[in-house]
Amino acid sequence: MLFKSIVLAAFSLAAPIAAQLATGYQLGPLTTSDAKWAVKVCDVTKYGAVADGVTDLGPPLLAAFNACKTGGVINIPLGTFAMATWVTLDDGVAFAINLEGTIIRTGTAGGHMIIIENSSDFELYSSRSSGAIQGYGYQFHSQGIYGPRLIRLISVEYFSIHDIALVDSPAFHLILADCTGGEVYNLIIRGGNEGGLDGIDVWGFNIYIHDVEVTNKDECVTNPSNHMLIENIYCNWSGGSAIGSLGTDTDISKITYNNIYTWSSNQMFMLKSNGGNGTVSDCVFSNFIGHSNAYSLYIDAYWTSETLQAGDGVLYTDLTFSNWKGTCANGVTRGPIMAICPTGQPCDGITISDFAMWTDSGSSEYYKCENAWGNGACLKGGSAHTAYAITTSTVTAAPSGYSAATMPSDLASGLGITVSIAIPTVPTTFFPGATPATARAYP
């Protein structure tokens, strides 16, 4: 795909956004769902699908796609459809998948249950806000193994995914790889309390992800790469949001995370690398609320869970963190601000402002910085941008204004990996006090 000059859009959000979506490019499908319904309807039951929870949906779904791949709607009606073989839907244009019923995984192969690739003007949604894919990942996880991912989009442009539930994937739930001009919203993801079950992994250009709830024990929404806006995200007993792990030739810029609510998760936000090279630049992380998370604001250029990569380190530059409130689990074990930057590539232009977080446990917390330059917390000011040893500042009193709202659906614990996870209803709220940007398809 050829991208011309980029002009930043002016969005009216809860806080000023410096790094945003790009104007001059389509966002979402080119054709309305109504127009696609008017062209052609390819109902999977006309191609051999049976809503009996046994008959394999794979071949009928592929046949319905082949009949509607140049325009129309692939309809999966109410009922339970078993899927034993995986499908790749390639080279479609101006088509949609309307998932009213539930797809349950019955096959055991690896890979991805559904791949959509090399396509344009695509929509995956539920007109009833009732559609779901149930991966029954616990059947793998109880044996200590992983299985297939649920959905992967590859080189898809001008698309949307909305009003569905992705449940208990045997591995990652939703992957958007090298995609452009997409929108993901009104989505709920429920995964087991185990690493390796990412909610949304995304990389590409000009993508808007908003009004999404994720439960898992790995990344909530992770790895955006260029001109992306991610807001109204509810990490509900999750791994939390992140960029990384990063390696060589990193090129991430103009990313905004706004209105991020994180409950009992691994982190509110983490940027992580171990060696490598390239840059993460011109990004904004605003309006974060956290409660009882292990890590809060965490930059770690020596992330030991990643194999050491060649290079002097990824340069983190021109990053703004503003209006963070709530609590961390233990401010002595893991302080709410840690900015550990590479010795060979010190961070610069880091700004931390209006940061008020306190500890659930104990009566003090600390901020830790190393090789990190900018304004706020323990960051060093000035223009030297040279390496320096770890500096720590201790906070012994709760900062003013740290108290923050909670969400009514906060989970009391993570979801198990040995029993089935129930299919939830698509929520109508994803961040305290914020109205979803788009109403549910079916109120």
Q: What positions carry a catalytic annotation?
A: 218, 291
Mean pLDDT across the stretch 138-159?
98
User: Are 383 and 355 members of one domain?
Assistant: yes
Q: What is the pLDDT of residue 62?
A: 98
Q: Who wins on pLDDT, 8 or 122?
A: 122
Domain around 326: 238-410
Q: Rounded to whole angstroms, how far apart are CA atoms 442 and 186?
A: 11
Domain assignment present for 1: no
Average confidence score pLDDT of the chain: 94
Residue where a domain terminates, one of 205, 234, 263: 234
User: Are 183 and 320 members of one domain?
Assistant: no
Residue 63, H or E segment: helix 58-68
User: Are 149 and 263 members of one domain?
Assistant: no
DSSP labels for 293-318? ESEEEEEETB-TTSPPBSSS-PEEEE
Phi and psi at 62, nearest 5°, equal -65, -40
Give residue-wise pLDDT tens across range 412-431. Answer: 999 999 999 999 999 999 99
pLDDT classification of 2: cutoffs 50, 70, 90: very low
CA dihedral 234, 239, 241, 243 (to 10 degrees): -170
What the block records as the tokens of 258 is 């706004």
User: Are 77 and 161 members of one domain?
Assistant: yes
Give residue-wise pLDDT tens across range 208-260. Answer: 999 999 999 999 999 889 999 999 999 999 999 999 999 999 999 999 999 99
pLDDT > 70 in the chain, percent: 96
Domain assignment present for 292: yes
User: Are 328 and 182 members of one domain?
Assistant: no
Domain assignment present for 420: no
Q: What is the pLDDT of residue 374?
A: 98
pLDDT-wise least confident of 18-27, 65-74, 291-300? 18-27
User: Are 379 and 261 members of one domain?
Assistant: yes
pLDDT classification of 119: cutoffs 50, 70, 90: very high
- The domain total for the chain is 2
Residue where a domain terminates, one of 214, 234, 254: 234
pLDDT classification of 100: cutoffs 50, 70, 90: very high
User: Are 60 and 192 members of one domain?
Assistant: yes
Q: Rounded to whole angstroms, how far apart are CA atoms 183 and 28?
A: 6
Domain assignment present for 219: yes
User: Residue 23: pLDDT above 90?
Assistant: no
User: Are 338 and 205 members of one domain?
Assistant: no
pLDDT > 90 in the chain, percent: 93
Domain assignment present for 432: no
Domain assignment present for 95: yes
Q: What is the pLDDT of residue 1?
A: 30
User: Are 107 and 141 members of one domain?
Assistant: yes
- Bridge partners (DSSP) of residue 255 are 228
Domain assignment present for 429: no
Give residue-wise pLDDT tens across range 351-364. Answer: 999 999 999 999 99
User: Residue 196: pLDDT above 60?
Assistant: yes
Residue where a domain terminates, one of 234, 256, 289: 234
User: Are 127 and 223 members of one domain?
Assistant: yes
What the block records as the tokens of 146 is 């992983």
User: Are 146 and 281 members of one domain?
Assistant: no
User: Are 27 and 47 members of one domain?
Assistant: yes
User: Residue 6: pLDDT above 70?
Assistant: no
Neighbours of 169 (CB within 10 A): 32
Give residue-wise pLDDT tens across range 310-362. Answer: 999 999 999 999 999 999 999 999 999 999 999 999 999 999 999 999 999 99
Q: How many helices (H) and strands (E) does the chain have?
A: 3, 26
CA angle at 117 for the pair 436 and 276, rounded to the nearest 5° = 80
- Bridge partners (DSSP) of residue 114 are 87, 151
Residue 127, H or E segment: none
Of 128, 97, 96, residue with least CA distance to 31: 96
Domain assignment present for 31: yes
Instruction: State how far the alpha carbon of 16 is from the alpha carbons of 82, 233, 286, 335, in Å.
Output: 46, 18, 9, 27
* CATH code of the domain in which 396 resides: 2.160.20.10
Of 299, 317, 265, 290, residue with least CA distance to 377: 299
* 239: DSSP letter: -
pLDDT classification of 443: cutoffs 50, 70, 90: confident
Give residue-wise pLDDT tens across range 163-172. Answer: 999 999 999 9
